[in-house]
A and B are shown apart, each in its own frame.
Chain A
């Protein structure tokens, strides 16, 4: 009782205080919402249970992930180059990584393969591998960082994507380049245009100076050293320049869509 009294402010009418407090109280629905949120948090802390099945937690986390996309796009510096390394730093053997075993990797026939080009581009012609090999190529030795946390340094050679976008008359004011792959499950991934135009973003045809092996994405991989590995699609069969967000294999399952390094 003594403690209660000490909480009261002298000179303030108790009845008026209570009246004001009641007025300031949120409505029942709001109070229920707060109580629900509190118990959700408490459950997480006490039991470590997975509460991400819960609708509200899921929605909130997805919204924060979208906010994180915007933050990353805002701090993305189109002139900042990913660090490059000497050839001696290349990781050997370079890891194979996918959601399938290496024997199940797409086995693309390079002679029959064509890169399909769609969307907001002037020239929608498809490109054979022979035609693409004739384009000027550059080599980069950069660090590949996987969303899982591990990293490996590799050597990739190919045509800067921005040169190709210029060549086909792509509308570079569009929001995305959306890539589709030869995987049975239809791997795909959207790449924001600013990153697509980054000088190190590359249509890769060679790994360690050899024609890109099947394990690393024959016949063509998109190498993006400013993104996590899953945003570097392998076995690419088509590219669409678009303003629509078309989602991606991992992005749709919850990996952050921008996932910039």
Chain B
């Protein structure tokens, strides 16, 4: 399974993401934002957390227009897997690959703590290993994680079962407690919490690891 981790100026979870994917058995390459193409044969593109382009204009807005993002969009349109975590989720929302937008946390604080997520659907490679209704512990670290979407968009997400994760105790004001959403084809996941920071008990928890294992297994089997 081949994975690419996109690095923007200001990304700071790129190496953590690479470690999480390598631990799960992926062959990982790092790609720079100025690259116009992904390495041949990439199954999964991971867009890591951080502060791409200093969060100028809006979180993820400049990154979404960078050369590599065109390649990421083409990869997704071909049916490739993509995972955006934290700033990566913001980037995917800004590209339009995922619906909605992330704005400032309702109480304006940067939040850095472990939260409990409820897995809302098992119908995706990302969430299948957990099972619907299970609860996992994953850290958050964000200032703009307050998920917003219009009423029609929210109804579509709910109706299609595309809410991947909800907070059990919403820390940031997100609509409908949404922590992560899936694309229509269920191959793109954006989430504010950091599964790549929860891959070992040595790091305080390993609830993120099954997601990466599941992705690797799905791509190896395909």
Question: Are chains A and B native binding partners rather than an unrelated pairing?
Answer: no
B residues contacting A by CB (< 8 A) are none
